[in-house]
A = this chain, B = another copy of it.
């Protein structure tokens, strides 16, 4: 079953200049994948008739569906509609319904339309007009049934684009696409991308349907398995055995197979699921670890307190680290990390306490304690585990990797604690 292909064209000088990040393309791409469309190209082009025309023509030459966003505004440099219509051999006409909708919109927001607003009511002949319920510019679908080409025009503002896509475009595209695509993402933490790739190289080499792709995130690897079939159930059947195989190969390194579960959410779910409470004490990560935990909605039931003990004094005063320990082993040491989680547990009476202490750089490194050396400690109901990590890169990257490693250590320690509780300590 050959899939329909879609090409996304974002129109706007502000994207070309880097004034704004092209989030529309990411949104549209994800939606199109869900609809079972293949997307091989995305383009960005400015508000220039010639370059826009050549981009649309190229796209029409290699894709069944071309989605354009942006350039539907009222100003003279908004050319998308005129240009796309010309590419499809259509003229523009004044659409009374769109004109009325624009009048209504301005009446609602208590403003008077300017003459150039009526430009937005000029629509390509024989096109499907897509009402804009979040703004003035209507979108449209110009279809050439004989050639099987579909050009879809959407407004640039994300809120207008999303609503219009979900209300009007998705139903249209679903009617075009036979079959279904199902994707599952296996999320692995604590294993580098190249190592993960080696572990499944045989699967990747032999892939066709489902397809398998690895995506590197900070301290994580996401493996996406996508299958297409006549219906969703058949697609699921194709994905299932591969995911099962990945689970066998990566075991507990997998923290989730759900698209909307982040590492921090997986950790918080474990904490809440076991009715635990958590507190953090951070040195080199300076609050970023707590920040990631607190980014999960609903964490407030479990998260008790966080400390940022950046100075030695605060490590002693707040986290109860002994002066002798700091003097003998230093702030960046297994011993200090251990006392930080123990002190925090005593202070906050939390089931889980986690600590980070390390050298994020650029300064502060020595021969035996180089920049990138980070100790992470996690205590689960009194059982303390300390991990020594060596990270590279700049200050930001070292801190981000430290946070990810801390989250993963928390996950592993909680799992270990409960498996030992269940099966008894070896």
Q: Which residues of A contact B (CB under 8 A)?
A: 13-23, 25-33, 39-46, 48, 51, 55, 58, 73-77, 105, 108-111, 113-117, 133-135, 157, 159-160, 163, 192-195, 197-198, 201, 204-205, 213-216, 222, 224, 280, 282, 285-291, 293-295, 297-300, 303-311, 313-314, 317-318, 348, 361-363, 370, 372, 390-397, 399
Given B45, B105, B287, which contacts A287 in the complex, CB threshold below 8 Å?
A: B287
A187–B113 alpha-carbon span in the complex (Å): 22
Q: Are A39 and B26 in contact (CB under 8 A)?
A: no
Q: Are A372 and B33 in contact (CB under 8 A)?
A: no
Given B117, B213, B393, which contacts A194 in the complex, CB threshold below 8 Å?
A: B117
Given B20, B26, B46, which contacts A20 in the complex, CB threshold below 8 Å?
A: B26
Given A134-B394, A287-B288, are A30 and B18 neighbors across the interface (CB < 8 Å)?
A: yes
CB distance from A212 to the nearest CB of B (A): 10
CB distance from A304 to the nearest CB of B (A): 6
List chain B residues, Cβ under 8 A from A391.
Answer: 109
Q: Are A159 and B394 in contact (CB under 8 A)?
A: yes
CB distance from A367 to the nearest CB of B (A): 13
A58–B214 alpha-carbon span in the complex (Å): 28
Given A291-B285, A304-B311, A314-B304, are A43 and B43 neighbors across the interface (CB < 8 Å)?
A: yes
Given A18-B26, A396-B159, are A286 and B297 neighbors across the interface (CB < 8 Å)?
A: no
Within the oligomer, what is the number of copies of this chain?
A: 2
Q: Are A42 and B29 in contact (CB under 8 A)?
A: no
A352–B23 alpha-carbon span in the complex (Å): 36
CB distance from A105 to the nearest CB of B (A): 6
Q: Are A214 and B287 in contact (CB under 8 A)?
A: no
List chain B residues, Cβ under 8 A from A30.
Answer: 17-19
A413–B303 alpha-carbon span in the complex (Å): 31
Q: Are B73 and A55 in contact (CB under 8 A)?
A: no
A40–B46 alpha-carbon span in the complex (Å): 6
List chain B residues, Cβ under 8 A from A18.
Answer: 25-33, 215
Given A116-B197, A159-B397, A311-B303, are A41 and B44 neighbors across the interface (CB < 8 Å)?
A: yes
List chain B residues, Cβ under 8 A from A293.
Answer: 286
Q: List 20 A-B contacts (CB under 8 A).
A: A16-B40, A16-B41, A18-B25, A18-B28, A19-B30, A19-B222, A41-B45, A41-B51, A76-B197, A77-B213, A108-B390, A109-B392, A116-B194, A282-B306, A286-B293, A286-B303, A287-B308, A288-B291, A297-B361, A308-B308
A399–B205 alpha-carbon span in the complex (Å): 43
A407–B333 alpha-carbon span in the complex (Å): 32
Q: Are A309 and B305 in contact (CB under 8 A)?
A: yes
List chain B residues, Cβ under 8 A from A77.
Answer: 204, 213
CB distance from A47 to the nearest CB of B (A): 8
Given contacts A16-B42, A17-B39, 17 further A-B contacts (CB under 8 A): A14-B215, A18-B29, A22-B22, A41-B43, A73-B216, A108-B372, A110-B390, A134-B393, A159-B397, A285-B294, A286-B290, A290-B308, A298-B363, A304-B311, A304-B313, A306-B310, A307-B307
List chain B residues, Cβ under 8 A from A370.
Answer: 108
